[in-house]
C-alpha cells in the first residue's frame, strides 16, 4: 500500500470520523485500484481520469454490483480531494465523475413468509440463542451489521421497546424493538451470554466464544448458514432491506423509515418505494389473467 493511501485512511478515521467498516471498505476499494494502476505502470501521483473510467469498466466486466461500483467512485473521489488538500497533486482526476445511471439494481428482498422461515430455521450450534436473537433484532429494527455486532447492553431499553444505536458518523438514534426480538434477547442474556462471560464483564451484547464482540465476518458466516437452512440466499443487508421494504408495503411513512434506518438523506430511503412498486408489478404480472 502506498504511503499516501495509508495517510488517507487514517484521515478518514481520525478527521472525518467515518465508521471502521466504511474505512475498511474504502481501503479495500483503493488497494485494488492501486494494483490496477500499478499494472499499467502508473502511481497514485500520475493516474488520470481515463484510468478511473477503465477501472470502472473492469469492475462491470467482473460482475461487480452497482452499489460496489458507486462505493469505489466515492472512494476515489475522496482520495483525489484529499491529495489536492495535501498538495500531493495539482489536479483532480476524479472531478465530474459521478455515479453511473441507468443500471441501478434494486436491493434484494424476501417475502414475509421467507423471513419467517429463516427465523424458524435450525442450525447446529452452541450459540443458537445468540444467533436467533441477532437475526430477530436485525429484522425487528433494521440495523446495519456494523451496528448489530456493537450493540451495548447499556443501550437496551427493552421494557420501553427501544434500542439506542450508534450509526454512521457516530450519529445516535432510537429504534423500536418488537416483542419477539425482546424475548429472544432476554433468553440469550440469561443463558448463553452469562455462560460465555463466566466471571468477566463486557459492555457488548453479542459475544464470541472468547467473550469478545462478535465480528462482522463471523455474523456473515452465521447468517449464510441460516439462509441455507431455510433454502434462501441471505446476507445481513438482505434482512435490513426486508425490514424497510415490509414497512413501506405496510404503509409506513417514509420519513419514519428514514429515521429508523439512520439514513441522512431521504433519497436513499426512497429506493424502497421502488422495490415495493416492483413487487406490485410482479404480483400483477403473475396473477392478472391478461397481464
Catalytic residue, candidates 108, 237, 259, 274: 237
Catalytic residue among 81, 164, 218, 263: 263
Cell of 145: 451489521
- Give strand ranges (E) for the chain: 156-157, 162-166, 172-176
Q: Which of 77, 240, 241, 246 is catalytic?
A: 240
pLDDT value of position 104: 54
**168 catalytically annotated:** yes
pLDDT at 290: 66
Q: Which three cell numbers stand for residue 149?
A: 455486532
Q: Are 49 and 89 in contact (CB under 8 A)?
A: no
More confident residue, 283 or 165: 165
What per-residue confidence (pLDDT) applies to 28?
A: 92
- pTM > 0.75: yes or no: no
Q: Is 218 a catalytic residue?
A: no
pLDDT over 80 at 278, yes or no:
no
- Please say if 130 is a catalytic residue: no
Mean pLDDT in the chain? 86
User: DSSP assignment of 32-51, as one string?
Assistant: HHHHHHHHTT--TTT--HHH
pLDDT tens for each residue of 129-138? 999 999 999 9
Do 238 and 110 meet the contact criterion of CB atoms below 8 Å apart? yes
Check residue 57 and give its pLDDT.
86
The answer, yes or no, to whether residue 18 has pLDDT greater than 80, is: no
List 168, 173, 218, 274, catalytic entry? 168
190-245 confidence digits (pLDDT tens): 988 988 888 888 999 999 988 899 888 889 899 999 999 999 988 878 899 999 98
For residue 157, the cross-strand partners are: 162
Quick one: average pLDDT of 275-279? 61
pLDDT digits (tens, 9 = 90+) for 147-195: 999 999 999 999 899 999 988 777 889 999 999 999 999 999 998 898 8
DSSP 177: -
144 is catalytic: yes
- On the question of pLDDT at 15 being above 80, the answer is no
Catalytic residue among 71, 77, 130, 144: 144
List domains and CATH numbers for the chain. 3-85 (1.10.150.130), 112-286 (1.10.443.10)
What H or E segment, with its residue span, contains residue 5?
helix 3-14
How far does the chain reach from its first CA to its final CA, in angstroms?
55
Q: One of 26, 55, 226, 272 is an active-site residue; which one?
A: 272
Query: What's the confidence (pLDDT) of residue 37?
Result: 93
Amino acid at each position: 500500500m502506498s504511503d499516501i493511501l495509508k495517510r488517507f485512511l487514517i484521515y478518514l478515521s481520525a478527521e472525518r470520523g467515518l465508521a471502521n467498516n466504511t474505512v475498511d471498505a474504502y481501503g479495500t476499494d483503493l488497494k485494488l485500484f492501486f494494483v490496477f494502476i500499478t499494472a499499467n505502470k502508473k502511481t497514485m501521483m500520475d493516474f488520470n481520469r481515463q484510468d478511473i473510467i477503465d477501472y470502472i469498466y473492469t469492475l462491470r466486466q467482473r460482475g461487480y454490483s452497482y452499489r460496489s461500483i458507486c462505493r469505489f467512485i466515492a472512494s476515489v473521489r475522496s482520495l483525489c480531494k484529499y491529495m489536492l488538500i495535501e498538495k500531493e497533486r495539482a489536479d483532480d482526476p476524479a472531478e465530474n465523475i459521478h455515479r453511473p445511471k441507468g443500471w441501478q439494481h434494486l436491493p434484494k428482498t424476501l417475502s414475509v413468509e421467507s423471513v419467517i422461515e429463516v427465523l424458524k430455521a435450525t442450525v447446529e450450534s452452541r450459540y443458537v440463542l445468540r444467533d436467533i436473537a441477532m437475526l430477530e433484532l436485525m429484522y425487528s429494527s433494521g440495523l446495519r451489521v456494523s451496528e448489530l455486532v456493537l450493540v451495548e447492553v447499556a443501550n437496551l431499553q427493552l421494557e420501553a421497546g427501544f434500542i439506542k444505536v450508534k450509526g454512521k458518523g457516530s450519529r445516535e438514534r432510537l429504534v423500536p424493538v418488537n416483542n419477539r426480538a425482546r424475548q429472544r434477547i432476554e433468553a440469550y442474556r440469561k443463558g448463553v451470554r452469562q455462560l460465555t462471560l463466566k466471571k468477566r464483564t463486557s459492555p457488548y451484547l453479542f459475544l464470541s466464544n472468547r467473550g469478545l464482540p462478535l465480528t462482522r465476518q463471523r455474523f456473515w458466516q452465521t447468517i449464510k448458514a441460516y439462509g441455507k437452512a431455510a433454502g434462501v440466499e441471505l446476507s445481513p443487508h438482505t434482512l435490513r432491506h426486508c425490514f424497510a421494504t415490509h414497512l413501506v408495503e405496510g404503509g409506513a411513512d417514509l420519513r419514519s423509515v428514514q429515521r429508523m434506518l439512520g439514513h441522512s438523506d431521504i433519497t436513499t430511503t426512497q429506493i424502497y418505494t421502488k422495490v415495493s412498486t416492483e413487487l406490485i408489478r410482479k404480483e400483477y404480472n403473475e396473477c392478472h389473467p391478461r397481464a
